[in-house]
Amino acid sequence: MSAMSNSNWSRRSLFRAAAGMAAAGTLAACGGNNGRGGSGGSGKNLVQYFHAYGEAGVEQAVKRYAKAYKDANVTTQWITGSQFEQKLFAALLTKNAPDVFEFHPQIQLVKSGQVADLTDIIEPVKDDFNPADIKSHTVDGKIYGVRMIDDPQFFFYRPSLFEKAKIEVPQTLEELVEAAAKLKTSKVKGAFLGNDLTPVQSPLIWSAGADTLTEDHKVAFNTDAVAEGLKQLRGLFTSGNLLLDAPADWWDPSAFTQGLTAIQWCGMWAMPAMQQALGDDIGIFPFPKVGSAGKQSVTNGGWSMFVNAKGDNVEAAKEYVKWLWIEQKQYQEDFATSYGFHIPPRTSIAQSATKLKSGLPAEGVKLFNEFGHFDNIGWTQAMISSINDVMANSVRKNGDPKAQLDAAEKKVDAELKKLFG
Amino acid sequence: MSTATPRKVAQPAPAEVATTRPRRGLRASSTFNFWLFTGPFLIGLVIFVFVPIVWSMYLSFFEARFTVTPSEFVGFANYKQILTDTDFRNSLVTFTVFAAFIVPATWALSLGLALLVNRLRFMRAFFRSVFFLPTACSYVAASLIWKMSIFNGVRFGLANTVLGWFGVENIAWLANPDPPWYWLVIVTVRLWLQSGFYMILFLAALQNIPQELYEAAAIDGAKPGWQTFRYITLPQLRATSTAVILLLLIAAYQAFDEFYNLLSKTTWGQPPLVELYKMALGENQNYGAGSAGAVVLTLLICVVTLLQGKFMGFGRGEESK
């Protein structure tokens, strides 16, 4: 007799085991972390999505603010990795969509009814916000998001290396290409513009005297000057003076602080980490002029808070956003200046933020005010992807810049027609 | 007329008369047992596979941007868009190049490893485990190790460090498509990840080859080594090889993780799934066009699989060989 037949494996016990496993599976599914917290707390449950900020302490700060809110249980989903946009967009189509989320102003979100009108909570303090930020969140007179931080992006450089190479701060793209050549050594590359070069695509357009879109929603990037700038970037890309394939991308200061590059395109948020690593040996300059008609430019990025218009708790979510990003000025200042450096979009906070009043941060604020370009709510992800393709095909792959810009114009035109008719 | 005495054939014992009461109703039915055990899985299959497929086919006929419950019927417009989209067509070229590299390379490497491990006389389990272990590693994790530690473009990346010893300048493995070094990164990571699994399949097949064949060949004067491999081992592995090639081809069609994680914001090196992901689930959120692409890709995989099965004889019985 086999050992098996001596065991208790009857059909009935098998059925019991299967039922038990099914029950266990169901229980496990119930216990899954859906980010909505338990139901034992008081008030409503709200979920907020944040992308992972690189600076130490931001996550804890965001959760601390959420905990201080008494009218709802606010759970934070801290989304790591570089696919925040994709995760957010996918989640917004489901029942598990966040009630509150950070993102950039995009008309597509408004047109598809995914973000709630926040005019009523912003209107009383509208005049205290940077007017450009209000404009970039407004569609047909309604304001669809609250700006949390402004993030100027520019070039960081090591003045000591510039002095050693006997070069001045570049004023034109040609000078930047020459500087990268002179700064390159066997261990240090001349410049780092990001692994895929896409962070400088908008500044290149602005610095060539063009724009992404016109005020009346027409393509404005397809100019000869932009094509010329792309050609110059192609020269830099193939020169061997550009840092490519760095382990950490442009938003992280590692390549600069580890001495892999002498110049890096990055954001003001990285200043504290850079200052800690390199002391005072840091300077900044805007994206240089492209062509004779161009003007230096700075990207004024940033993040804004939106309310999911299709969520179950729209009013409660609006109340939370109002409480945190309009009423709690001390949290807003803490968020903007205690970890990385950002510029508070509220004028009153920006003026009182002592950390931004002197030294390198003050210089960053100056460049922001003088050369900054703000978000255009009509410039959608699909349009950004089209320009990503231009950078990939003309700068990294040696395609004809004008032909690539023409192809992008067609795609962006099609998008504009869908959005604005 | 046969003179042989007919042998007495043993008669089967009469079946015992069932003494227990016959079971009635559903519990007695083997159909009930069938549904009991397959039902939950079938429900899962319907909910998570068939419904999405049907829904995807439905979406492919609608304008579905930023929504999966669209209302604007557009007929075959999404199919027209996807079939005239150069990025999608290029993705099929990328797949073809990838499959041309990865299928024969994995087949050869896994077969080589299986032959090696099969002949080992000591530490067999150790080596089998060592070669099989990468199969347990996630594609995403492996891709990040390849990207950030081995094949990054800076001087302290492993590959560049080794090249540096020979005076070779740092190579941007992934950022520069000219020369297309990214293929080396992508092919090596997948080879490392999947060869162990196919090695196990070949190992099982090798152990099923009757030893008598080799003994007979030796008596006939066949030299061990290439000759026996060419005329005995390889033909005996035909069925396994066909299955392995089929699985490799399907896996190549489904390539996503390593391409997605290694090549960001490129217009090259994008296989169909990455292209469709970018179109539907990525930043564009165009579920209509993405679904049309998925339907086209599914049909393509079916056709290729059937053709491959026809040419290589997958599923054909021994007698028809």
Hey, is the C-beta of B81 within 8 angstroms of any chain A C-beta?
no
Q: How confident is the model at residue B13, as a pLDDT?
A: 52
Is the predicted pLDDT of residue B316 greater than 70, yes or no?
Answer: no
pLDDT at B311 > cutoff 70: yes
CA-wise closest residue to B172 among A161, A189, A183, A199: A189
CB B125 within 8 A of CB B117: no
What does the DSSP assignment read for A148-178? Answer: EEEEEEEEEE-HHHHHHHT-PPPSBHHHHHH
Kindly report the CA angle at A9 between A6 and A11, in degrees rounded to 5? 130
Nearest-neighbour CA in chain B from A128: distance (Å) = 33
B117 sits in which H/E element = helix B86-119
Nearby residues of B277 by Cβ (< 8 Å), 6 or more positions away: B256, B260, B290
Q: How many whole angstroms from its chain centre is CA A144?
A: 18
Chain B nearest CA to A290, separation (Å): 24
pTM of this prediction exceeds 0.95: no
Q: Which amino acid is at B276?
A: L
Instruction: State how far the alpha carbon of B142 is from the alpha carbons of A80, B134, B158, B189, in Å.
Output: 18, 9, 15, 7
Chain centroid, CA A136 distance in Å: 15
Q: Chain B contact for A397, CB < 8 A?
A: yes
Pick from A15, A114, A392: CB nearest B266: A392
Tokens at B251, concatenated: 């896996």
**Going residue by residue through chain A (421 aa), what tens digit of pLDDT does each one get?**
333 333 444 445 444 544 444 444 444 433 334 444 444 445 689 999 999 998 999 999 999 999 999 999 999 999 987 778 888 988 998 888 999 999 999 998 999 899 999 999 999 999 999 999 999 999 999 999 999 999 999 999 999 999 999 999 999 999 999 999 999 998 899 999 999 999 999 999 999 999 999 999 999 999 999 999 999 999 999 999 999 999 899 999 999 999 999 999 999 999 999 999 999 999 999 999 999 889 999 999 999 999 999 999 999 999 999 999 999 999 999 999 999 999 999 999 999 999 999 999 999 999 999 999 999 999 998 899 999 999 999 999 999 999 999 999 999 999 999 888 8
**Residue B157 near chain A (CB below 8 Å):** yes
Q: Is B198 in a helix, a strand, or coil?
A: helix
Cα-to-chain-centroid distance, residue A327:
24
The Cα-based distances of B113 to B130, B205, B232, B235 in angstroms read 11, 13, 18, 18
Residue with tokens 């009469």: B14
Task: Say whether residue B40 is in contact with chain A using an 8 A CB cutoff.
Answer: yes
Question: What are the backbone angles phi and psi of residue A171, rounded to the nearest 5°?
Answer: -105, -20
Using a CB-CB cut-off of 8 Å, the residues of chain A touching B282 are 85-86
* Digit-coded pLDDT (tens) for A24-54: 444 443 333 444 444 444 568 999 999 999 8
pLDDT at B70: 87
Q: CB distance from A247 to chain B under 8 Å? A: yes
CB-nearest partner of A382 from B37, B267, B284: B284
How many residues in total does chain B contain?
Answer: 321
- CA quadruple A201, A169, A195, A54: dihedral, nearest 10: -100
Average pLDDT over residues B148-173: 92
Query: Largest Cα–Cα distance in chain A?
Result: 95
Helix H or strand E encompassing A189: strand A189-192
B228 or A10, greater pLDDT: B228
- Cα A143 to Cα A155: distance, rounded to the nearest angstrom: 32
What's the rounded Cα separation, in Å, for the pair B186 and B180?
11
pLDDT at residue number A353: 93
Q: Is the pLDDT of residue B300 over 70?
A: yes
> By the CB < 8 Å criterion, does B21 face chain A?
no
Residue of B nearest to A404 (CA): B267
Whether the CB of A89 is below 8 Å from some CB of chain B: the reply is yes
The verdict on a CB contact (< 8 Å) between A389 and B268 is: no
Whole-number average pLDDT of chain B: 86
How many Å apart are CA B142 and CA A80, to the nearest integer? 18
- Choice between B264 and B208, residue whose per-residue pLDDT is larger: B208
Q: Tell me which H or E stretch contains A111.
A: helix A107-111
- Specify the pLDDT at position B169: 87
Q: 3-state DSSP call for residue A313?
A: coil
**Alpha-helical regions (H) of B146-286:** 158-165, 182-207, 211-219, 226-228, 234-236, 238-253, 257-262, 272-276
* B47 close contact with A: CB closer than 8 A: no
DSSP state of B105: H
Predicted local confidence at residue B321, as pLDDT: 43
Residues in chain A: 421
pLDDT at B19: 52
Q: What is the dihedral of CA A255, A261, A265, A269, to 10 degrees?
A: 40
Distances (CA, A) of A187 to A72, A264, B65: 53, 15, 48
Of B40, B177, B285, the CB nearest to A397: B177
d(CA A192, CA A263): 6
Q: Which pLDDT value is given to residue B21?
A: 57
Cα gap A66→A17, rounded to integer Å: 44
B52 contacts: CB under 8 Å, gap ≥ 6 = none
- Cβ atoms B81, B279 nearer than 8 A: no
Residue A363 tokens, joined: 């210089």
A114, closest residue in chain B (CA to CA):
B66
**Cβ contact A247:A195 at 8 Å:** no
Say which residues have a Cβ less than 8 Å from residue B97's Cβ, sequence separation at least 6. B183
State pLDDT tens for residues B15-62: 554 455 555 555 568 888 889 999 999 999 999 999 999 999 999 999
Question: Residue B320: is its pLDDT beyond 50?
Answer: no
Three-state secondary structure call for residue A1: coil
Q: Of B36, B155, B178, which has the smallest distance from its Cβ to A397's Cβ?
A: B178
CB A129 within 8 A of CB A346: yes
Cα–Cα distance measured from residue A57 to residue B92, given in angstroms and rounded to the nearest whole number: 45
pLDDT of residue A128: 97
- Considering only CB atoms, B284 lies closest to which of A260, A385, A397, namely A385
